[in-house]
Amino acid sequence: MKTRVISGLVMVPLLLIVVFGGYPLMIAAMLVGIVGLKEFYNGFRAMDVHPCYPIGAAAVICLYGINLLTGASGIYAENFKWHVLWVFGVVLASMLYLFKIDERKLEDGMATMTGILYVVFFSYHVVLIDQSAYHLLVWLVLITAFVTDIMAYFSGYFFGKHKLCPKISPKKTIEGSVGGTLGTMLVSGLFGYFIMPEIMIHCMIMGALGAVISQFGDLTASIFK
């Protein structure tokens, strides 16, 4: 409980960044990508897998450089080709990294590519949402992440009896998962009702889907750990 409260307080500055949006949010997302990627790779190195951080750092710079050069229009079909080219470049660079076959293993290239796509590219979508016509939905990203975690914790604490994935995360329960999903759907609906009433139902649907995906992501992170 104490750890969760401290973590919540640490995240308060993030809320201010989301309020400002624009370049502050872009810089924050880029830093999350850089720091998160390093931590992700450190986890693999502990298992004697050695991904290439310079390739990852270059991928971060290129991705955000594409956004700056194409502007908000970069999220639309006519400029989406640059993001596809970026993905191709990431895959290619990760494969070329394996060419020193006497020093590197297949897992090194796979971990390099996985980290870039999983950490950098996924977090970059916060920027894309902020640059879209529905930029307020950035708040829904935070709602699905934090409310799911909070509601799942309390639902599991008070009602949890059946383990969800005991071999991956022993403390998670089915009751907690259901409570997290329902709670997030409710809060997302309230967000839609007060902030974006024209898409309130959409917010509830995205909240439910986001809660499920958030829990899958949490379990996946536990597997990596």
CA distances from 9 to 144, 187, 210 (A): 18, 20, 23
Q: Is 96 left (phi over 0), alpha (psi -120 to 50) or beta?
A: alpha
Rounded to an integer, the average pLDDT of 197-221 is: 94
Give the tokens for residue 29: 């997302």
Backbone angles phi and psi of 21, in degrees to 5: 65, -160
- Convert the pLDDT of each residue in 105-149 to its tens digit: 999 999 999 999 999 999 999 999 999 889 999 999 999 999 999
pTM of the model: 0.86
Confidence at residue 34, expressed as pLDDT on a 0 to 100 scale: 96
Instruction: Supply the mean pLDDT for the chain.
Output: 90
More confident residue, 5 or 200: 200
Confidence at residue 72, expressed as pLDDT on a 0 to 100 scale: 58
What angle in degrees, to the nearest 10, is found between the helix axes of 77-96 and 106-115?
Answer: 150
Strand partners, 165: 169
Greatest mean pLDDT among 15-19, 79-83, 182-186, 213-217 lies in 182-186
